[in-house]
Amino acid sequence: MAGAAVIIGASGGIGGALADAIADEGAFDVVHRFGRSLKGDAHCDVTDESSIAAAAARVAKGPAPTLVIVASGLLHEGDSGPEKALGQIDGEWMLRNFAVNSVGPMLVAKHFVPLLPRTGTPVFAALSARVGSITDNRLGGWYSYRASKTALNMLIRTVAIEAKRMSDRSIVVALHPGTVDTALSKPFQGNVAPGQLFDAGRAAVQLLDVIDGLGPKDSGRIFAWDGAEIVP
């Protein structure tokens, strides 16, 4: 797939592994790496629209992006993390989850989806989570994280509808990477079933394999690391 690949969140574990894997495959003319902790032209914070706009302006110089992946995400920060009960809900923490996990990817979509080429099968993907599925929620808890990922899934579906009007072969999807051995999941790995904790490199390859298997009919849907569709 010629053109440019763009990874937003390339300073994170999965994002960095995705950028490395894409570069190793050599299928793109350019691989753009953007992240909150990266400096200079590579800096991009999904909660700062001006930095997203600057990143998009850099990419807009060409070649056109045929793959954009938003790999940023928030699960815990400082003393704050997933709530186990209603009494733990904090309004500011809930808003912070939505800012990073829901609004942030949409700001990226706002600036990057218009850059996708009108021909071929360009892909815009954002990392979501199975816990964002309303149907699959049997354990409760994790209010802010669950809700922010549920919102992301709905927003991805909505973006997919608009993107079809620009290019009827565009693909806009949400992807669940599984539980990956990164700083994001580190405090919550104790209950992961054997064989279900992936290193970042493996997770990246699995996600790219899923993307390679997608077609325009899959746009607006949510897929897990093994290619199985997740019911919203």
Note if the pTM is more than 0.75. yes
Residue 229 within any structural domain of the chain: no
Domain presence at residue 68: yes
**Residue 130 domain boundaries:** 4-224
pLDDT (0 to 100) of residue 62:
95
In a domain, 116, yes or no: yes
Q: Is 200 within a domain? A: yes
Residue 35 lies in a domain: yes
**Mean pLDDT, the chain, as a whole number?**
94
**Residue 65 or residue 190, greater confidence:** 65
CATH code for position 142: 3.40.50.720
- Looking at residue 193, the DSSP 8-state letter turns out to be P
Angle of helix 13-25 relative to helix 200-212, nearest 10 degrees? Answer: 60
> Is residue 232 included in any domain, yes or no?
no
Residues shown for the chain: 232
Q: Report the alpha-carbon distance of residue 128 to residue 151 in Å, rounded.
A: 10
Report the distance separating Cα 120 and Cα 125, nearest Å: 16
For range 63-90, the mean pLDDT: 96
Cβ–Cβ < 8 Å for 223, 230 = yes
Backbone torsion region of residue 142, taken as left when φ is above 0, otherwise alpha when ψ lies between -120 and 50, otherwise beta: left
| Domain count within the chain | 1
**pLDDT digits over 138-193, tens only?**
999 999 999 999 999 999 999 999 999 999 999 999 999 988 777 665 566 566 66
